[in-house]
Structure 1
Amino acid sequence: MSGLVVDGVDVHYGRVHALRSLSFEVGEGEIVSLLGNNGAGKTTTMNLLSGLVKATRGTITWNGTDLGSLPAHDLVTHGVVHVPEGRRIFSTMTVHENLMLGGYRVADASLVEKRVQQAYDLMPRLHERRKQQGGTLSGGEQQMLAIGRALVAGPRLLLLDEPSMGLAPLIVKQVMEIIAEVNQQGTTVLLVEQNAKAALRIAHRAYVVETGHVTLSGPAAELADDPRVVEAYLGA
């Protein structure tokens, strides 16, 4: 299929077997969510896809390109952009400077400016705060800034790791609406989330990951009604 295909991947940290024959797919134009508890292997999966760790077995392809053979700094040129857990914005740089930094691998300066303006249009709060240092923003605004910075890079596949972490429910709703809008504008999204309820509201499909491998998968609406998911992740 076109899109992202992870096939039979193992990852080891020394003697720790972090991912075990992990396989899943993300079709172009989809939002796919990976659900699971702490330690399930979700963040390792994101680090694998962004080239920060390497597989000891298996393959990772994005529209036919072997991502596993590429260094991390080259993935953005193939449209793969990672928003890491914890946002990791530059706290002493302004909002605008953070956004501009997202375009560091984009040769066309006018395209960078256009994408920055698109980020402001999508998230007007960032425009209001554009001259503020990133560290002075609220948690929700920092998450918006992290997403905006990634969008300036021009992602075709956006990897989002725990974007709702530490945010109030109303802000979580706003962030998820932004992610859904980014997807509607044509960006494929892989969303790692502990907040299963929020993730399943916007995802097309989802996979449940436990101890480094997929134990359950299906359309998001079906998983939201699956008693196993309800009991384990939806607090019912």
Structure 2
Amino acid sequence: MSMLKLEHVELFYNRVHALRDLSLEVNEGEIVSLLGNNGAGKTSTLSMISGLVRAKSGIAKWGDKDLTKLQPWDLVGAGLLHIPEGRRIFSTMTVHENLLLGGYLVKDQKLINQRADEAYALMPRLAERREQQGGTLSGGEQQMLALGRALVGGPKLLLLDEPSMGLAPLIVKQVMEIITEVNKQGTTILLVEQNARAALKIADRAYVLESGRVTMQGSAEELAADPRVIEAYLGA
């Protein structure tokens, strides 16, 4: 069943045409990846979905909700959460304080605490650093913290922008395993990732963006075997 559907979306930043006739779909329970080089429109797509920027035209639906008419905080409250590039954790707050802040729109404190405990169970490294300030964590730990904070918000659809950026290969593998587990626990995921090899390994389907347009789409397996994707994104 389709959870997210974009049809013929056009997006401009002043005179820059960021998205051109963009159409894509994410079905409930999937991990869908957006691939492409810098400037392809991947981050713009996530920002438009989460209400940070407005499309000039086109249709953007999340279930029965019109994404072009809702504010970002309305979407967060309804379960659409966006982890931006660069993690954006609160560096002077502790790990635990960062996690609890993820539930700022959740009215039930018991539920917030329960979700924080579930995040610690999923990522024991965070539990070990519970009282440390966020800014003292490694890049991989900060990415885990950003994920944990989002999970406390109770996401139905999670938008992830470059979660592997700047991380060592072993840590990338750990982060991708955590994302897979989050998906198995019931969260649908739209993943923007320059590490195409890592993204295609965990995704169900993928889209390739170039200059704001979808130029290829298919199952992760199909795209991983496509000579054009191999040449452009996976190496020989």
Q: TM-score, normalised by structure 1?
A: 0.99
Distance between the aligned counterparts of 1:110 and 1:235, measured in 2? 48
Q: CA deviation at 1:30?
A: 0.1
Aligned residues: 236
Within a 5 Å distance, the mapping from 1:67-106 to structure 2 comes to 67-106=67-106
Task: Give the gaps of 5 or more residues in structure 1.
Answer: none
Partner residue in 2 for 1:131: 131
Q: Percent identity?
A: 71
Q: CA deviation at 1:59?
A: 1.2
Within a 5 Å distance, the mapping from 1:29-178 to structure 2 comes to 29-178=29-178
Q: Is the 8 A contact 2:2 2:25 kept in 1?
A: no
* Aligned partner of residue 76 in structure 1, secondary structure: helix
Partner residue in 2 for 1:20: 20
Distance between the aligned counterparts of 1:92 and 1:78, measured in 2? 28
Instruction: Give per-residue Cα distances to partners, 1:21-60, cap 9 Å, x unaligned.
Output: 1000000000000000000010111111110000000011
Amino acid at match of 1:110: K
Partner residue in 1 for 2:7: 7
* Aligned partner of residue 176 in structure 2, secondary structure: helix
Partner residue in 2 for 1:213: 213
Task: Give the gaps of 5 or more residues in structure 2.
Answer: none
Task: Return structure 1 stretches of 4+ with deviation > 4 angstroms.
Answer: none
Distance between the aligned counterparts of 1:201 and 1:69, measured in 2? 35
Distance between the aligned counterparts of 1:116 and 1:204, measured in 2? 28
